[in-house]
Amino acid sequence: MTFPPQTLLLPITDPEEDLSVFFTVPTSLGFVDSKSPSLEIEIGRQTYTIYQGISGLISGQTGQLVWRSSIHFANWLSKQDWFKPKNVVELGSGTGLLACVLREKCKRYIATDQRSLLRLLRKNTDAEVLELDWTHPVKPCEMDYILACDVVYNENLIEPLVQTLEFLASVQTIVIIAGELRSFEVAVQFLQVWRRSFHVWIVGDDSLNIIIWIGKRKSSPR
């Protein structure tokens, strides 16, 4: 596995102070189109057909819809020369856009989410699809990267998410979490909890429309 160049990264030492810069210009990316049953999404030179569960807004399962932040993340990752994954596990895969884009770059790509989203995931991607409950995680394989997009938004999910990362990651695993910053307080709380057991950096690129954090497990959590 390859770690991102240090020139890309800024260490997170004070979550509240470090994040305040990114909330000076609020962004609201939201969904691409919450009324369309399918979308044609271009990443690089390839177009992907992504099916949506448009009942997601009614049921509260917004993972059935494509978020603009996932497009930004997929675009960014696909352009990184240092990103040469072998075994990847993605948390909260939703519609599976990231899996579609990155599957061919990996020896093994495992897209995970709640059971209710697996049928849609399998419809959109030929990557391996597994149910993963953050309150009772299972380790599908040894992985060099863990990816996630738009998973930091609810304070009640912070502890289960961090515990899942702790369970899955070794000291060699690189964790990349991206997304729209919806709540300053929730983001700060997440970083405070995550930093107990991980070294955390932020990608310092002002041209990005999303936030991207890089995490690596501490050998001795504190």
- DSSP code string of 127-166: SEEEE--TTS----S--SEEEEES----GGGHHHHHHHHH
Write the pLDDT tens digit of every residue in 106-124. Answer: 999 999 999 999 999 999 9
For residues 209 and 114, which has the higher predicted lDDT (pLDDT)? 114
- Banded model confidence at residue 61, pLDDT cuts 50, 70, 90: low
> Which percentage of the chain shows pLDDT scores above 70?
92
Write the pLDDT tens digit of every residue in 146-176. Answer: 999 999 999 999 999 999 999 999 999 999 9
In the predicted structure, residue 1 carries a pLDDT above the cut 70: no
Q: Give the type of residue at 163.
A: Q
HSE on the CB side for 34, CA within 13 Å? Answer: 12
In the predicted structure, residue 60 carries a pLDDT above the cut 80: no
Mean pLDDT in residue range 63-90: 94
- Banded model confidence at residue 138, pLDDT cuts 50, 70, 90: confident
C-alpha span between 3 and 222 (Å, rounded)? 23
Q: Please give the pLDDT value at position 111.
A: 97
Q: What are the angstrom distances between the C-alpha of 66 and each of 38, 39, 74? A: 9, 8, 12
Question: What are the structure tokens assigned to 217, written together?
Answer: 């497990």
Domains along the sequence of the chain with CATH = 6-217 (3.40.50.150)
